[in-house]
Structure 1
């Protein structure tokens, strides 16, 4: 954890100036039944500060059964004629066992520009998002750029639990770049070149795994040339997304995330994952042994304080840099509950599949 904290500070903050808008982007947004989220995304697209001649938005419909397509269509009709062609809706062409990888593959085949950026339909994009990427690409020789992601604020305990967990993971992500052993990224804010995507054969070799459109591609790009895979540490590039609304959705999502971990190629990534599992499992075991009076309460408190302090330092590091809300009053409760939730998810990951967008997938 100390290494990740040091690594976070080693990744330089990127402050872009008034760089000329030269880079063209194809922004890919797969969606399935996102009628509630799309209006917010479309509003943020409308507010982007970037010349429309240098960007296209490709929405890929993955067999939506709600009115998602009509929402996008209505939005396009309200645009000026000169800008309508910048937004397209494609039908997903299924080829793999992963609908989302299929959607990205479909869009890349129709993309007009060299630089691809993926995001999700439940995201909001900051106004200088593309300007920030544009400036970074002109300043650095890169083939892939991982961007920061945060959750929208929520008031429920579940949303706060996700807020704390997700921001802790973001610190680990950025910190891993700082120690030159990057372990993950997030497909809600990820940019790469079409040529690099082609060089690593896209999603080939992991197309039988439903999720992992971001991490597995990232691992391949990192092996191709790690010096050209960077993290864009800038508030101007911070994409916000929605937490899961209920416990069922949260657990399904985390089981999906955990299910792909056994397929990681990077041994350091696996080691970090194992340490996290052992940390949570160790606390749960210690709690049970305390109940049966094998451990003393004082010993359990020492374990809890050590773990909670390490996690809090990671959580706070991200929030301070990106000026996110701290929510310290809920942190202690979340720190106690999370190991039990994590252990439950681990058990489900071993013995069951998961549901994603109303489809069931096996591990």
Structure 2
């Protein structure tokens, strides 16, 4: 019986790994095939940026926004201050452009960041809403890509938001994790089963926001203004698209410390407890196969055959990351992938536990 069980593991795990990896690459290939049109339809867009105590990031954000390749009369930027206690407001008022404005987050309908975004939307004048964060830096074609994807008939769209990888270990870990998460985000759209995105680069029509009753159906957690919003869009069978075009990424800073990293991840993973059941089952199966394959190596004393799923996983991890990152302008070397992938999957377990025991808060 023991030998049968071991042989089953050595066949079942590699088979699942190969099949799932093929589906992931197939899905993301379909997304990569969606290229930017040669002509751009410059739709009117309101960019909503909620912030709280972001004085160290405001200058970089404004510098990026000022470089956007988009007619200034075709977009506005609505900054929403959620009771900042630093010099964020002062810096903004000193550098406001004609199409920028700041509103205060008072009498919020929803708690946390959702309430600030809601106030921004209510104070916006255009039909298309684009959202990013105050610690982000959109590239010059960001709004062009949003405009094109919305005109193509998509009701909700999201783009790629890489984290800036620095030399520190935590920066590499958080950047790689973000990269791997986006592989799943994009491939799920390509396979027709979207389940998540991030609010660092997401857009929709205002009519869609009100059709979904704003964030009123996403109040299970303080976070979830992105992935739970996607959940509600999926429930209503809305068309969800992605854009990964040249110069359309939205860069953000990686975690500076392990404490910041674990706080971020526990907050994000807390929303995953409220995903649609089929999405939870899909993710649980994907991660379980990978984690069991990774840790099958500890069972080698029982059978050398368990080296097989471990090595198959390592090879597929490197191939997948190296294949995808050429399109996402990432630069993880094969040896970085070799150690960051196990760390990523181990931290999935740690962060999932953290999401259960940590309290949810914004800032």
Superposed displacement of residue 280, structure 1: 6.0
Instruction: Quote the residue 1:160 is aligned against.
Output: 172
Residue 324 of structure 2, aligned match among 313, 318, 322? 318
Residue 282 of structure 1, aligned match among 279, 284, 292? 292
Task: Tell whether 2:222 aligns with 1:202.
Answer: no
Q: Secondary structure at the match of 2:166?
A: coil
Decide which moves more: 307-316 or 143-152.
307-316
Instruction: Quote the residue 2:223 is aligned against.
Output: 211
Instruction: Quote the residue 1:252 is aligned against.
Output: 263
Instruction: Quote the residue 1:186 is aligned against.
Output: 198
Q: CA contact under 8 A between 1:255 and 1:348: conserved in structure 2?
A: yes
2-side partners of 1:304 and 1:157: how far apart?
24
| TM alignment of 1:295-310, pairs within 5 A | 295=302, 298=304, 301-310=307-316
Q: Secondary structure at the match of 2:95?
A: helix
* Cα separation, partners in 2 of 1:318 and 1:62, compared to 1, 3 Å: farther
Instruction: Quote the residue 1:99 is aligned against.
Output: 112
Instruction: Quote the residue 1:361 is aligned against.
Output: none
Query: TM-score, length-normalised on structure 2?
Result: 0.87
Task: Tell whether 2:348 aligns with 1:342.
Answer: yes
Q: CA contact under 8 A between 1:283 and 1:304: conserved in structure 2?
A: yes
Q: CA contact under 8 A between 1:93 and 1:102: conserved in structure 2?
A: no
Q: Secondary structure at the match of 2:317?
A: helix
Q: CA contact under 8 A between 2:223 and 2:360: conserved in structure 1?
A: no
* Cα separation, partners in 2 of 1:120 and 1:299, compared to 1, 3 Å: farther
Superposed displacement of residue 104, structure 1: 0.8
- Aligned residues: CA RMSD: 2.2
2-side partners of 1:128 and 1:96: how far apart?
33
Q: CA contact under 8 A between 1:16 and 1:132: conserved in structure 2?
A: no
Superposed displacement of residue 234, structure 1: 1.5
Count of residue pairs the alignment pairs up:
342
2-side partners of 1:102 and 1:151: how far apart?
25
Q: CA contact under 8 A between 2:222 and 2:360: conserved in structure 1?
A: no
2-side partners of 1:188 and 1:69: how far apart?
20
Query: TM-score, length-normalised on structure 1?
Result: 0.87
Task: Tell whether 2:281 aligns with 1:271.
Answer: yes
Instruction: Quote the residue 1:70 is aligned against.
Output: 90
2-side partners of 1:189 and 1:178: how far apart?
18
Instruction: Quote the residue 2:232 is aligned against.
Output: 220
Q: CA contact under 8 A between 2:322 and 2:334: conserved in structure 1?
A: no
2-side partners of 1:295 and 1:57: how far apart?
61
Instruction: Quote the residue 1:15 is aligned against.
Output: 36
Q: CA contact under 8 A between 2:223 and 2:362: conserved in structure 1?
A: no
Instruction: Quote the residue 2:18 is aligned against.
Output: none
Task: Tell whether 2:241 aligns with 1:230.
Answer: yes
2-side partners of 1:63 and 1:213: how far apart?
19
* Cα separation, partners in 2 of 1:337 and 1:201, compared to 1, 3 Å: same
1-side partners of 2:224 and 2:51: how far apart?
16
Superposed displacement of residue 145, structure 1: 1.1
Q: CA contact under 8 A between 1:258 and 1:349: conserved in structure 2?
A: yes
Q: Secondary structure at the match of 1:321?
A: coil
2-side partners of 1:70 and 1:276: how far apart?
47
2-side partners of 1:4 and 1:224: how far apart?
24
Structure 1 unaligned blocks of 5 or more: 358-363
Residue deviations 1:288-319 (CA, integer Å, cap 9, x gap): x55xx8545x5564443333333334433431
Residue deviations 1:168-224 (CA, integer Å, cap 9, x gap): 111111111111111211211101011111111111122241011011111222232
